[in-house]
Homo-oligomer: A and B are copies of this chain.
Amino acid sequence: MSSDPSELIDSITGGDRRAVARAISIVEDQLPGKEALLKPLYAKGSQTFVCGITGPPGAGKSTLVDRLARYSREKNEEVGIICVDPTSPFTGGALLGDRIRMADIATDPGVFIRSMATRGSRGGLARAAREVALILGATGHDAILLETVGVGQIELDIAETADTVVVVLVPESGDGIQAMKAGLMEIGDIFVINKADRPGADGLVVELMSVLAINNARQWTPPVLKTIAKSGDGTRELMDSIQKHRSWLQTSGEGDRRRKQRVGAYVKEIIQETMARRLWQEKNLKGQMNRLLDDIMEGRTDPFSVAEEIINAGEARVSSGRDEV
Contacts and interface: CB of A to CB of B under 8 A. Distances in A.
Nearest to A177: B89
Interface string A278-315: 01100000000100111011010011111110110001
B88 A122 contact: no
A92 B275 contact: no
Given A267-B293, A276-B271, A42 B303 contact: yes
Contacts of A321: 319
Interface stretch (A10-18, A238-246, A257-265): A257-265
A87 interface: yes
Given A267-B306, A304-B42, A307-B274, A152 B318 contact: no
Given A264-B289, A319-B319, 9 more contacts: A38-B304, A42-B303, A90-B151, A152-B154, A260-B294, A264-B293, A271-B276, A274-B307, A274-B311
Interface of A: 35, 38-39, 42-43, 56, 86-90, 92, 118-119, 122-123, 125, 150-154, 157, 173-174, 178, 181-183, 256, 259-260, 263-264, 266-268, 270-272, 274-276, 279-280, 289, 292-294, 296-297, 299, 302-308, 310-311, 315, 318-319, 321
